[in-house]
Amino acid sequence: MTGQQTLRPMPEVDMAVHRARIEEANRRMRRSGWRRHLPRRGHLILLPLSIIVVLPFVWMILTSFMTDTEINSIPPPLWPHHLYTGGYSSVLANSDFPYWFLNSLIVSGAAVIAQLVLCSLAGYAFARIQFRGSTVMLILVLATALIPIQLTVIPTFVIFHDIGLINTLGALILPQLTSALGIYLMYAWNDLFWPLIAITSSHRFTVQVGLATFQGEFISHPSAITAGTTLTTVPVLLVFLVGQRRFIQAITGAVKG
């Protein structure tokens, strides 16, 4: 077999596919190089928006390490002159913050676990199972989410009072076990209205109720208030930063489903 016989020209279609593959490989190599670190057009819009969103949290953390004089000064400093931890000491020494934090963990943890079991089953049934009356039932379930909690708080309080659950964590956990909103979103850390009514003992406050009462007592000490707000907010931010990818995937998956 001669060299002319072995080097046969490739068909035109194969050459076009081959060139397209080479160009795609070159594009991928360029994209995987230093150019992929350059901001895209969307980043030029998202960057200033992200700064606007993050700035209040950064300012809250910085002011939590300032003295009351620095916070009340006009204009206030952009950062503390030195790290002042008196606000945190005041929160931990003059309040039951450790109890508040533990109570919030218990209530939120129980609510999330219960809704993962109960609400996820309901959400799966509505999304994947076709049964008679599913549309009507879904509308009725969603309609319950439109009822303001203020309309149900009095009968709920009476029922829980009769069974002896007022001023206990059970009064906060039971209403969170399942709900129409819980089918789509499970989160109970920031609840304030019902715990403010159902709990009267400081040891059983959640962080939101405790922080509200603490702000009323220490309104003249902004460093302590910002320290308490930081201790309440930072754990939620850390949990979100750790699981933000799965959180966003779950939300987008629920919307697509």
Is residue 27 in some structural domain? yes
Task: Report which of 67, 105, 70, 59 is spatially closest to residue 89, judged by C-alpha positions.
Answer: 67
**Quick one: DSSP state of residue 33?**
T
Residue 141 makes CB contacts below 8 A (sequence gap 6+) with 122, 126, 180, 183
Q: Between 255 and 224, whose confidence is greater? A: 224
pLDDT at position 38: 59
Q: CA angle, corner 104, sides to 240 and 113, nearest 5?
A: 70
pLDDT at position 5: 47
Q: Are residue 106 and residue 207 in the same domain, yes or no?
A: yes
Is residue 60 in some structural domain? no
Q: Are residue 34 and residue 99 in the same domain, yes or no?
A: no
Q: How confident is the model at residue 6 (pLDDT cuts 50, 70, 90)?
A: very low
Q: Are residue 102 and residue 212 in the same domain, yes or no?
A: yes
CA 71/CA 81 separation, integer angstroms: 11
| Whole-number percent of the chain with pLDDT over 90 | 12
Is residue 156 in some structural domain? yes
Is residue 8 in some structural domain? yes
Average pLDDT of the segment spanning 13-38:
67
Q: Are residue 140 and residue 213 in the same domain, yes or no?
A: yes
What residue numbers bound the domain in which 2 lies? Answer: 1-38
Rounded to two decimals, the pTM is 0.69
Asked whether residue 215 carries a pLDDT value surpassing 90, the answer given is no
Q: Are residue 22 and residue 104 in the same domain, yes or no?
A: no
Mean pLDDT of the chain: 80
